[in-house]
Structure 1
Amino acid sequence: MNDNYKMNRGTEMPEPTASTLDFELMYALAEHSHEPMLLVQPDGTLLFVNSAICQLVGQSKEFLLREGRKGFMDSSDARWEVALKARREHGYFKGEVNLVHKSGMKIPVELGSRTFCASDGVQFVSVHVRDLRAEKDSQEYIEKQQQELKNTVRELQLVLDSTADLICTFSLDGYLLHVNQACQTILGYSASEMIGQHCTEYIHPEDVAKTADDAKEVVKHSSTLNFKNRYIHKDGSVVYFSWSSSLLKEEGKVYCIGRDITKEVLNDTKARENDYRLQSLLQEGHDMVCILDQEGTYTFVSGSVRHVLGFEPEELLGYKAFDFIHPDDITEILSDFEQVMAGVDLKTKPFRFKAKSGEWRWIETKGVNCFHHPAINGMIINSRDITDRLEAQGQLERSEKLYKALFENNPDSVYSLDKEGNFTSVNATTVACSGYSEEQLLQMNFVQMLHPDWVQETVADYEKTLAGESSTSETVILTAQGEKLNLAITKVPVVVGGELICVHGIAKDVTETKQQQRLLKNTARRLNSILESIKDAFFTLDKNWCFTYVNHKFESSLGVKSDELHGLDIRQVYSPEKFPKFYSKFKRAIDLQHPVHFEIFYDDLNKWLDVSAYPSEEGLSVFIKGISARKKVEAELKKLSLVASKTVNSVYITDEEARIEWVNDGFTRVTGYTLEEVIGRKPGDLLAGPETNPERVSMIRQKLVYDKPFVQEVQNRSKSGEIYWSKLDVTPIIDEVTGGRKKFIVIETDITTQKKADEERAKLTEELLRRNRHLEQFTYIVSHNLRSPVANILGLTSLLGTSDNKELQEGITGKLKQTAQNLDYIIRDLNEMLSLQAGVLEERERILLPEVVEQAIQFLPADSYEKVTVDLNGIQEIGSIRSYVSSIISNLLTNAVKYKSPDRPLVLGIKAELQEQDEMLCLSVSDNGLGINLEKEGKNLFGLYKRFHFHVSGRGLGLYLVKTQAEALGGYVTVESKLNEGSTFKVWLKNYK
């Protein structure tokens, strides 16, 4: 549109800006639109034509822009004057006119024009054109189909009314519900006289009983054939009938066809009636019947030739049929004639026959050789005029080809649906758009493709279409690949004979357009949310120093309203004489196109303000935040730093990111680091000792978030590598005014000596208790389990030396080996117990429970279970011995895998709960395995070397270890179990803070 406009206006376009970019986008949309468009001056000069209008009229853009309206306007169409007059007087017109194609063809279109003014006051006329050819062709085709259907229905009714048979409907109790017009002919009564009357009023009295019996047979067998009875004519004569009856149970009706066989019964008139009927058929029928001799000469012509060809029968007698056949068809007809002469009954292809009027009529003929019949002695020719049928068929084929071309080649999805919403036809675009094949679509209902959120609305809209209402609406579908598509669908009901037979739909993919709209809305919404979420007072000015935006913080801080300030010059609201520094800084930012930042005390608000101004091509963006609290804190910090610098303890100050800002001399003395070496670094990254792991450092940093003082013990490493323990007293200093910046004052006290004494005392106490608990069990194993295999070895060894029997010696050797293995198992178990005792010496720590559980699950064979459900109730850290907790969970899981049921896949459950004010942790492991008989085995369940299922290898040590380790951690173990259902082990542990 730019190029066209420049060519006609003769002006140079300005350099691209945001508005020109929008103009270019609008031009691209208009240029590539499928809808023909024009831009015209009021005097008729064309300023712009898009490709669609050029393609419609077959002319180039240059031609149309040069010739103007006369390049495509049909000058003979008087409606153009009406259109131009309406647009001049009212500024708007919409109606139908004709365009002229380059070839001279007239194109019916719907023309819409509207006058509008540009920003500079210049008037233009926008013109939109819609090609009506396809619509008119479709309308003509539909009207023709409707007319054909009406003709068919009328012909059917004519057949029913004209048939010689009596067609009627009875109720089950014998009352007449419907009768065709034949009743008048056969019985003398009109249909209105008979309907509603009982059949016995017309049946011969002697046939009433017989007719009642036949009615019972109809009910019993649903139909009867050739039932004969007599009826009384209105004039009192007897009429003989042969009936065929059929019962329709669902409607409770009996359908009957009665043939008048009176003439058959009356033998004396039968021949005459047959002759009469035959003669009527030959004279009045649509088919022409004639007889040809061996030369092809007419020897008989029926009277129906008058209706078919316009001849009187006498005008054809004695003439050869071949003289009336079109020269192009004569050869094939002669060949067919010879085949019939040879005895072949033949139906010819359609050929042309000259009527009396001189026009060629298309004839379809059937020939039968009857020379052997003395009464005929010729070839019977039965001919029918099919000219109208062939012309209608040709027209229908042309219409179908046109419709198919429009259907298949349409760039949009085009389809047809039946009343139930099932696809009956789809074009190639529909297949490509949906991702389904044509075969799949033709077996689908359109509801199956709808996005669940759009089903109700789209189905309701479709029901309106079924009611005969055309409409255009939008919906969302899911393709075969699961992708969402936004469609704009035009639905047109197809009604024939007052009945809706299908619905045509045209769907345009508007997904990209919708996405762009959503993107623009979301961008605008996000931008507004960002601006309103800024905690600082914020406003923007244009190049004329007028307010263009004010956020909520600025409104609340200064007690103003955004709508009151919008468009006002800031200098009129806030006097430059009262705020000289503000305006000097703002002017500097605009002049130099460089941001400025300054702090100033504002007397009216009695506050310190931090001001930042950022210039742009649109004007100036200004951020203002209150910093009075910060200024107060800075003053306090100056005082505090003076005090802290003189204290003996290590003191340092960090920012809200825990980065060191200041340290006193005590910090340098304890750690060996100077202020220059540590400033900007985090203490945890710099000083953390071996036992101050990343988890503990992370925990300390998490505590900093809560803005509350806390005390924490940590292990540090000085610059020289010396390890020492410190107690940290951390106090946050928070800017309560802005809720923003804060600092932390940390006073560090060296507690290395105290920590070592506490640790040694705790370890000694725990070691004494542990050894006392296990000494008795250890003694039992040594005195019983260990002595038994040693005694066996001594006895077997003595036997081995006193016998020379080789087989006995081999047997003794095998038993010695087995006994030695048992002894090895016992020694291993003793070693396991000694390891258990050593484990108590480990330091209790904060461990991540999810991590321990995950590691225990990973050690299980992947194919040993089907599912593991973990529910830790949000518990992350617990205080305990990591190795003990890991061993307990691993032993319980391994035990569940060993004793899983062979009848079902193993399902495991791990659950954790904190109880008794978080001082006790309950870990439970459940399974659906073999289970345990607790009534029988409960007292021995956690004993050493106790086993309850012997089909799986094991020594009965796992549950003993679980119980022992739980008690070592200040807890206990409980179990719930049922045979063949599963078990749940609950381990209660003390949660050390």
Structure 2
Amino acid sequence: MKTMVSFSPDLICALSPEGRFRHVSDACQRALGYNTTEMIGKHFSDIIHPDDSTTALEKFLDACGRAEPVGFESRCLCKDGQEVHIAWSALRAAADELLICVGRDVTQQRHATQQAREQEIQHRTIIEHGFDMVGLVNEQGVFTYAGGATQHTIGYRPEEMVGHSAFDFVHPDDLAMVESYFALLATQAVISIPDFRFRTASGEWRWLETTLNAYLQDATKIFVVNSRDITERRLSCLVHTEREQRLQVLFDSDSALAAFQTADGLVLDANPALLAFLKKEKQEILNRPLVDFLPAEIRPLISQMHLEMAHGAKVQFETKVQFEGEKEKIMKATKTPLMVDGELIGVYCTMQDVTEITTAQRLIKQQAAQLTMVMESINDAFFSIDHEWKLTYLNTEAERLLGISREGALGISFWSLFSEEVDGICHQHYQKAIATGETVQFEVYFEREKLWLEVKAYPFAEGLSVFFADITKRVKADKQLKLMALVARGTDNGVVITDAQGRTEWVNDAFTKQTGYGLDEVRGRVPGSVLQGPETDPVTLSYIQERMQQHRPFSATILNYKKSGKKLWFAMDITPIHNDAGQLTQFVTIQQDITFRKEVEASQAAMTQDLYRQNRDLQQFTYVISHNLRAPLANALGLATVLTKMDKNGEVFATALTHLRQSMVQADDVLKDLNLVLSIRDKKDMQAMEPLALKDVCQQAINNLEEALHECDGKVVLNVEDQLMTRGNRAYLYSIFYNLLSNSIKYRSEERTLQVDIVCCTGAHGGPTITFTDNGSGFDMFKAGSDVFQLYKRFHTNQRGRGIGLFLVKTHVEAMGGKIEVTSEVNFGTRFTIHLDKR
């Protein structure tokens, strides 16, 4: 029995007469979340929902006083606070005065019941207050029930329709159709009757749409009738149909390319003009995006416009379009949104070819804008007058110079504005231009504004166009120039007068004598553009330009060129000239010919350089004599002294004599080297410079070292630019290639096969550039320092040598006006770069 209680799904408990739990089953924890220990001693009201507490206690007391069970229902609170519905059955146990309560969780049943009740109420409310009329008819079509919106829609109370045949209310013209559809219920469970007219209580005919559903009720077939009044919609459809027919006529006859689209851009309809333009049949484009038939380059634009129109805004734009096989056209597209309740339901799209109109309008606007821009941007003042002397146009500069405004002057006679000029110079020239049809040009003093004006008048069909400019400054400047010219003619220095932009206005006779250029040859030109040449210093030019922009006096020395091409050194003093308002008007340059002084300075510099070179060589020779020559001479001297004391027939005497001979040979070699170096330095015995083909000389050196290359399996890759020539000494050039290649063979790496790459091409300096690269043993550039090309300097101890090869290479290169550079890395190889003179 205890086991059955434990496994019972019902909550079984025993309560004392005071209402406290004495025993509870295990179902208590499943139902309420409390275990047995937590429930013992707890009062019955502690688990009851406060709103149900009073009723539950009354039932509890009632059960305590009865011999039969008492049933009731209450909401209980679980341990986690949730509500559960418990159906209780309480019975008093007379033996021990305990109240036995059995509770069952009926929460789900109560919720289901509540939902069903709510749905029934909602359904009834929908039926009673909805737009549909609801009824039941039998197999003869007689109403057995009527409800819903019946009275509101057709005016009959439900009881007025019950017992009457539904066919009695149908319009005679629609009766046969309704009866035929009703007969289909014999074989079909659901039918929909098309629109028909139904008589209302007031005798009016209303249009209904109806659906009938068949079901069995007590073995009798009953039909549920749902009807809705669609009269307004029907009438609206008729009106809409008429309007649609009218619009369709307009749509089809419109010359513009037109289409109706869905909100997603699919084509619903297209007019004949669009179909003809696209060369498509209507069925080919229906229900497809319109952009599929447009050129690819405008599809993103069409899609973007479609997005902008989604908010209800009408969108217009013009774009260039080029269809296949057609010329480029300008199309004006208009997208009009069709909105219903703020929602985009469709799009009316039109496109027109506006190429000719747009091109014409654009041309007119451009011409007008260009004409206005020209008239306003030209430096000259301009006005035009008609045949009645009335002003028809006046630009801003003309307003300023004449002291009038166009608002008050246009349409007014020119001579009424300037009455003092009647019969004056201007009047006479203007009349002459109109009478003869020829252009007139003159200068006149405008008294009113105290200005000198240069005037040009051009007659045309509508009147006279007049251009004029303020030349007051020029007139004054001419006067000043005449005065300055009197002064400048008396000096031996060249004088140049330029305008504020540096353009030449005047030069004196001394300038012409110095440079060979007359005034007519330099007027209007920047002096530097005439006088500067290939050796003019760019830094000096930048300095002059910078100082001129500062508008302050300054001096500069520059190398220029005469008209004959001869070099000419000038010491220039440049002074800016300002007007009374402080504005820069001119530059005056006085230039002194210092060519002789510069030649003397250059001669002195060359002499200084030669002295420096000889001093350097002297130091080098001193070093050679003190080291390379002194050692063998000292040995020879010592051996000569010893030999005098030896037996001439002895073996030691022969050995010493051999050493003496070697020492003298070494001393002779040093003297030969010195003689060679001095010959190269002083260019003694040097052949005349001649054109040399680099490839031929280089190939000769390679051929002469071919046996040495073959012995070490060495490889030479020669890459010489076609027809590359230089001017130089053939012996020197051969010596350069020979020494470099023999060094590569001598100092090759034991770890890899020797490869030498020789590349000869035209360098950035304009002359030949030679790169000589090998993969030999290399040397430490840091340790070598500046001694790489020094005489008797060697960087490898494992090979014999005198240390004169690289010295000769550098000396030969420089003797021909070139430069040599070297880079090297131990165990990677060495690269020599030689830049020869471009002469």
Scaled by the length of structure 2, what TM-score is found?
0.43
Larger Rg: 2
